[in-house]
Amino acid sequence: MENESSPTVPRTVWAYAYEMDPPQPADRLGAVRTLLDRAHADARQGTRSWEGRFVVEPQITHILIVSDDPEQDTEVNRRLEEHLRDIQAGFSRTAPLAVTGDSRPPEAEGS
């Protein structure tokens, strides 16, 4: 009897971003970074996917969130927004965008 493996169903994750304008210096975002790290660790312990990363550009600072749930009214979102208000960082949040399949970036060609 042949050992057949069933095809893996692509997993949907959701991506959205917080955008801070004007950009914020790293020393003002320490508590936010700690919050993101804790939320990621909590999600891993609960076998969920959730991660937040800073993307810093000259004109704006982004916090990119990738999660297995499109819901944005969660405890971590409320705490994150509270921290941003505490440091008086003007921010907006984008709508979640479904990302289906393998979320790893393709290998660079010619490397």
**Residue 79, number of CB atoms within 10 A of its CB:** 15
- Please tell me the least confidently modeled range out of 17-21, 67-71, 73-77, 106-110: 106-110
Is residue 37 assigned to a domain?
yes
Residue 80 inside a domain? The answer is yes
User: How many folded domains does the chain comprise?
Assistant: 1
Q: Give the whole-number percent of the chain exceeding pLDDT 70.
A: 81
Residues forming a β-bridge with 15? 66, 97
Q: Is the model's pTM score more than 0.85?
A: no
Q: What is the CATH number of the domain that holds 25?
A: 3.30.70.600
pLDDT at 6: 55
104 pLDDT higher than 60: no
pLDDT in tens, 19-56: 999 999 888 999 999 999 999 999 999 888 899 999 98
Q: Does residue 87 lie within any of the structural domains?
A: yes
Cβ pair 40, 52 in contact under 8 A:
yes
Residue 35 lies inside a defined structural domain of this protein: yes
- Region 58-76 average pLDDT: 94
- Residues in contact with 33: Cβ distance below 8 Å, sequence separation at least 6, in sequence order: 54
Q: Identify the domain containing residue 61 by its residue range.
A: 12-100
pLDDT mean across residues, the chain: 86
Flag whether 63 is in a domain. yes
What contacts 10, CB < 8 A, 6 or more positions away? 100, 101, 102
| Alpha carbon separation from 23 to 20, 55, 71, 99 (Å, rounded) | 6, 10, 26, 26
